[in-house]
């Protein structure tokens, strides 16, 4: 079935370096993508989103890139800090999966664990 996936389960980076977390999606009908951060014992926390009519969007220290040609999404974190250590999930909307007239559910990837080395 169509799903969102990730290239690497674990990513280890040096403090201060830039981090790049990748995500591949296969649902060509998806037009909205979100990155979430989840710290241990907590619920996912919204980081940044991007619509399919955009290629790039920047936030505070984070940038999301969308390549629709190869169905690839990435999250770049600048100057990685210890507080960035978490599991990062990409998610896509699922307009063809859920009916009901409301906001559609999200389909999540399996997550990448970002580890910060001192």
Nearer to other proteins (CB atom), residue 15 or residue 51: 51
Binding of other proteins by 44 (CB under 8 A): yes
Q: Which of positions 68-97 make contact with other proteins (CB under 8 A)? A: 89, 91, 93, 97
Binding of other proteins by 113 (CB under 8 A): no
Q: CB under 8 A: which stretch of 15-23, 55-63, 75-83, 103-111 binds other proteins?
A: 103-111
Q: Which of 84, 109, 114, 116 binds other proteins (CB under 8 A)?
A: 109
Q: How many CB atoms lie within 10 A of CB 23?
A: 26
101's tokens: 């007239």
Binding of other proteins by 59 (CB under 8 A): no
Binding of other proteins by 98 (CB under 8 A): yes
Binding of other proteins by 65 (CB under 8 A): no
For residue 33, what is the enclosing H or E element?
Answer: strand 32-38
Closest CA to 9 of 116, 117, 83, 113: 113
CA distances from 108 to 8, 88, 117 (A): 15, 10, 27
- CA-CA distance, 2 to 81, in Å (whole number)? 34
Binding of other proteins by 116 (CB under 8 A): no
């Amino acid at each position: 079935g169509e799903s969102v996936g990730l290239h690497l389960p674990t990513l280890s980076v040096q403090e201060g370096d830039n981090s790049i977390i990748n995500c591949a999606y296969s649902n060509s009908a998806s037009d909205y993508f979100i990155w979430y951060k989840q710290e241990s014992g907590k619920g996912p926390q919204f980081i940044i989103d991007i619509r399919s009519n955009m290629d790039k969007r920047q936030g505070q220290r984070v940038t999301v890139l969308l390549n629709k040609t190869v169905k690839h999404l990435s999250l770049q974190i600048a100057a990685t800090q210890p507080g960035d250590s978490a599991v990062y999930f990409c998610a896509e909307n699922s307009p063809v999966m859920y009916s009901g007239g409301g906001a559609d559910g999200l389909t999540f990837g399996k997550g990448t664990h970002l580890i910060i080395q001192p």
